[in-house]
Structure 1
Amino acid sequence: MGKRALRILWTSLACALILCIGVFVWITAYMVSQSGETIHEVGTIYMSQMSTQLKLQFSLFIDSRVAQMEELVGRTAAGDGDAGRQSLDEVKASARGYDYTYLGLYDEDGNGTALFGEDIEIIDEDAFLDGLRRDEKKVAAAKAQSGEELILLGVPAVYQMEDGGRSAALVAGLPMKHIEKNLSLDIGETLVYSHFIRKDGTFILRNADATEDSYFERVLSYGQSPNQTPQKMLRDIERAIANGADHSIVLTIHGEKRSTYFSPLPYSDWYLVSVMPYGTLEEPIMALNGKRIATTLAGCGVITIVLLFLFFLYFRMSQQQMAALDEARKKADSANRSKSEFLSNMSHDIRTPMNAIVGMTSIAKSNLDDAGRVQNCLQKIELSSKHLLGLINDVLDMSKIESGKLTLNMDRLSLREVVDSIVNIVQPQIKEKHQQFDVFIQDVDVEDVYCDGVRLNQVLINLLSNAIKFTPAGGTIYLSLRQEPSPAGESFVRLHFYVKDTGIGMSKAFQERLFEAFERENCERVNKTEGTGLGMAISKYIVDAMQGRIEVHSEPGAGSEFHVTLDLEKALIQVEDMRLPPWKILIVDDDKQICEDAASILREMGADAQWTLDGESALTMAQERHRAGDDYEIILLDWNMPGLSGLETALQFRQQIGGTIPILLISAYEWNHIEQEARRAGVSGFVAKPLFKSTLFYALNHYMGIAPEEMSSPEKEMQMLSGKRILLAEDNDLNWEIADALLTQLGLVIERAENGRVCVEKFRRSEPGSYDGILMDIRMPEMDGYEATKAIRAASRPDADIPIIAMTADAFTEDIQRCLACGMNDHITKPIDIAIVIQTLQKHILSGEDHSSSSK
């Protein structure tokens, strides 16, 4: 390489370094210069919100006191003589009970008579009385003879006064300390405190550090600003107050910079002055500036080293090697960008079901020859996928949640499936942290209710995820479900969900703020744990929307227990009669509550159930029954027990008693990794916790010759739909392939229309009654689903009322309403749930079968 080229390279390198350093220095200088303005803007926003809250509290306080007085006037009648005096006596007695220290009557001319309390001097009396004459809510300040400051409130009232005239208003006075007490104006934990001032700057209420009579005097005497004189600041304040506008300044008093915000108070001519020490915002931002400068210098150093390295590497490598290196660098950068974008957009709630989906998929791929295991994995993938879909819908609906328009999709759900789904989702996290996990079901007679399943899952998973995060390895977590009659009526049932852990617990002070957004307890253990502080606030919002309640009981170091109570409507569905033969069944579990609940359920189904708490006593009981020739016919064993485990107990049972008595292993965890060992120990099958009635029935009915599949009706449902002709409007080839495969399995005859226009044309060319129904996509080229539906409904044919069902990814409530408004019969959301498809087709096609037959 020639000297000229080398000189160009060195010059280019130097220019690049200078440019990079210059850009970094300029960016840093610019950001530092903007810090003061940023601090002021952040302070103004914060102080504006604080002032709004205080004004709202002030309004609520005044409204409640005025309502008291209006109620007092409303229930006492004006009159003359004894009746009038009796009314006034009642008014005075009630007013004293409301803590008023002054009560008086005022006529139209502003003449007042005190009913009790010291004589007062009303400040701004004319404005106050004028407001009363106009029936406005108005407050005023007054000073009693003793010097005590009062806040006055008045309402229209007609009573006989001492001079024989009639009053126009009833005026009551409260000590100003009531305002201080109710609004907490003094310096507190937030470091924000407030004053009340009049338009002329005189104090109505002042903070403890203000000794002057006028706030304006305070500004002139002590106020300092690098850009303004005290006189200029005061003129700006007076101008804002005269215009009734908010105003924000930063001034220094007694050597301390303070962010100060002025805001008019309702029902008065007063102003609220809120003050926050500037250092509260300035210190962290200044610290950030220091870190930014350090980071900039480090970045410059890194860039310099990298550029020098690349420069010397260029001389040592050929163009081909450089090209390969450049290609590798691009791929690495692309991979890193993709990974960073992916991780930045992930949340804990989405990773949890994804973990279950990926894990179950891997297990299924590794066990393709084991149909039972693959089926189990697919079921769990389906449950996790549905939960993940629900989370995506939540994200899309976030704008409505934030605006307070949360909508609930109340549909029939199975509590057993809900709990199974949640257990499957949280199990990987439990296993990863080596925690103990158990599920308790008590007195659950109604398994199907109407509820928003996605929202319920969201609440329970939030609670369990927090329990897992804040419980150390080896700790214990419980999920319990209990039912009882609901006070809402016989058609409802009350559900109690308990999530209990042995984790780090919470302080009493934090429990009071737990359900507020962005709240996290300030301790070392919590600060090291991921979280936004939104989970509990969202859970509380959802439970409130379901008209339930959520409570927490916790102590630091002793764990936490969350209690969710919901009153849900029972789903009145046909349930098969779950009856078992009078088998003699032994239940073995180290948890007494589980034993008692399972035994109660089995006895209710007709079995003779006994229980014990450990493997040793179970073997003793089984041996005694065996010697008496009255063996147990089924044994239910908990897998994880102290002393003899479930596997050891099963093995000794087979060795000591033998026989073919079914032994079923109970576990709340995956048993795939112990299945072979369990089979060798003599275990006949497995039962998953939690032990619902249906769970036990379907697990045991195999041994009386009845398979669960024979009791359900999917085959009957598919036979009823078999042969029905469906016209499917779908422009996406992959969506068509999926729908065709799923619907053909039901025996349906499917014909495709590539868009809405083709769908309308095929319907018009067909003979009346050729199609039994139409499944209509919405977003299609040439003609969308709405237009196609309107065209079909407008056709002059006897079957123009053919069932048309939307099958679309447009899933919001307004989308459903729009589908129904344009003439569709129902709405199915993609990705499609085949059970919902069957139910919907039965509802609209089979119910109109007679009509269709007559058309043909």
Structure 2
Amino acid sequence: MARRIGAKREHSSSPVSRAALLLCNLVLIVGMIVAAVIYSRGITQQRYNIKKDAFCTAVESMKQVSENYFITEKGYVNNWSHYISTQHMTEDEALQFIGTLNTQQDRVAHIVDMDDFSARTSLACGNGDWIHCYEQWAESDTPADAALLQKMREIFRADQDDMRVLGKYRVGETQQTVVSVGARVTLRQADGSDKDYLLLRLIPVEYLQKSWVFPTEYPTAQIGLITRDGEYAIQSGAMRSCSFLDFIRDYNFADDYSKSDEIAARLANTDSGLMEYKDSKGQDCYFYYSSFGEDADIDILGFVPVADIEVETIDWTIIRLICGTLLLLGFIDGMHILSINRQLHHTAELAEKANAAKTQFLSSMSHDIRTPMNAVIGMTEIAKQHLNEPAYVKDCLDKVSLAGNHLLTLINDILDISKIESGRMTLDPVPFSLRESVDEMVAIVRQRAAENQLGFAVQIHDVTQDIIVADPLRLRQILLNLLGNAVKYTEPGGHVRFDVSEKAVPGRTDRTRLQFIIADDGIGMSEEFQKTMYTSFSRATDSRINKIQGSGLGLAIARQMTELMGGEIQCESALGRGTTFRVVFELPTASALPMQPAPRTEADGTPGELAGMRVLAAEDNDLNWEIIHTMLEEYGIVSDRAENGQICLDILHDAAAPHYDIVLMDVQMPVMDGREATRRLRADPDPALRDLPIAAMTADAFAEDVAACREAGMDAHIAKPVDIKQVLRTLKLARDGTLHEQKKS
């Protein structure tokens, strides 16, 4: 009996011992990991900062060499110009003087007539001493040549102390690529009068580039020269586009011009700085710029990929610490740690699989947007080919509008994918025409089917209830996902069938049963994949579809939306024999709704009532301004434009300006953004401006963006793309003086 009691006590104490042992292990592991991470990060960051600072220092040293070089060359030009002008030399005398004085034959001088850009050189060539490159720039209509001419004018007008550089360009007489420094020179004319010319001293680019040598730890770093307004003076090999600002915008934020304006302001107002952007290869890079001086118009620009700065740190203290901890843990609990490791290994495998699935989703997000985008592009191209057929063009534009609206919906769904995964999606059932909804879906899918050389058959039969009550957006989302898959996974020459039918619900006249069949004779699905095909991010492994982009969300969304709408979805498929999806819904008909007044049409009042209103639109984008101006003009509404928030304030404070009923305020604008302009108006001492209705009209459409606009003092929020009906409703509220009350509600 005693032995049994003792054994019982030993057995009962073992869980406590294991728990204490586990707790001890966890404390040791966490402590060691935290110490190792903090120490390693500190050392790595310190070495990283040192190497980054060393890169900036290297650029500064190369700037100093280049600056001394330019100062010397500019000194030659200034001395020549001063002597020639004070001696009242003619053009021939000046060229002879420079040719005699200039011992460096590769330092050619040009005298340019700024009236017609004719020029003569101090180095005789095949055509005498006349050169024509500047005249050719004047005759050209390219932005690059126009920029070079503008820079020549700036040098011509500048003081002699200003350091302005013209470059880079190729000179025919020497076939060299050069940059130039210059000064204004006064020459005596044949009639004894004086005339100002531009005297340029040409500097071969190769001489500057030979002096730019980075240490070996920066193998891909490069140097260039830019002007303070972001134009290239000497363009390095890695810097693309026509100018540095275009380069940064093209490869970082092509649709947001305000960002490049911020960079331009930074270059113009600061002497040096380090910026991080992507290059043409998509890799993160550092760009360090440094001005040549207060009177200079140029900055040196260093470029280095971030990968060249990153350091790999091996700290033996951390290694010894970790190894000692692992040995201690192995000595204490051996097999117990192995068990934990096996569990962690299993968890890591699951995490890697989940991460791989989501990575595949992010890399192929276009799966669900290609179909409507194809309709937009295709119908636009077709409309261009039928400009003389108004009815045909209108039909094309109607289809573009439908596809665009669906595309916007899909984008919103992708951005809100967490809501779909968590099951928090809600429905918005409304009465709508089944036939019209089917026609919209057919218009989107037919173009893609034709491009894939597929037969696309549509059949609607036994449908007696055209007006049904459901969420039309979710219904289209379900069916378009299935139709899109059918088109994508059917090879050229195949067929896709879309069948819509209705069956009466026994004993119910207020409900109907709709059946949608999407069938294809494509590649089909294996039985194994059909077991997991409704799982998020799931795609079949098949060499025939690997090149087809997809998110792996289509079937998951279709299944979830179908069940949310009270329907059911069935699938029949086999490899090589095609796939058939059958979706069935039991939905209310229009007869189930109480009698309601017919919706007011556009002619019932709202647009006509707004004729004569005056709107001030603060919009920096020319195309967006043209769109809203044209839309408002169709309804007799007068609109004026302010290119940014500051101009908007100036117009409103101008006593001669007309009275405006409302301001449509963009948010992202240069000089002053829309929220700051709104805050200043709300603090204006003039009550007419302080209480002026302001509506945000912006592409910033997230909930936090709307809240920020409200906080700044705006009364309403209109998201881009602009819905003219929403704009008219907002204007009507402003005209009636109820927009402030609408904001409070």
- TM-score relative to the length of structure 1: 0.40
Higher relative contact order (CA 8 A, sep 6+): 2
Structure of higher CA gyration radius = 1
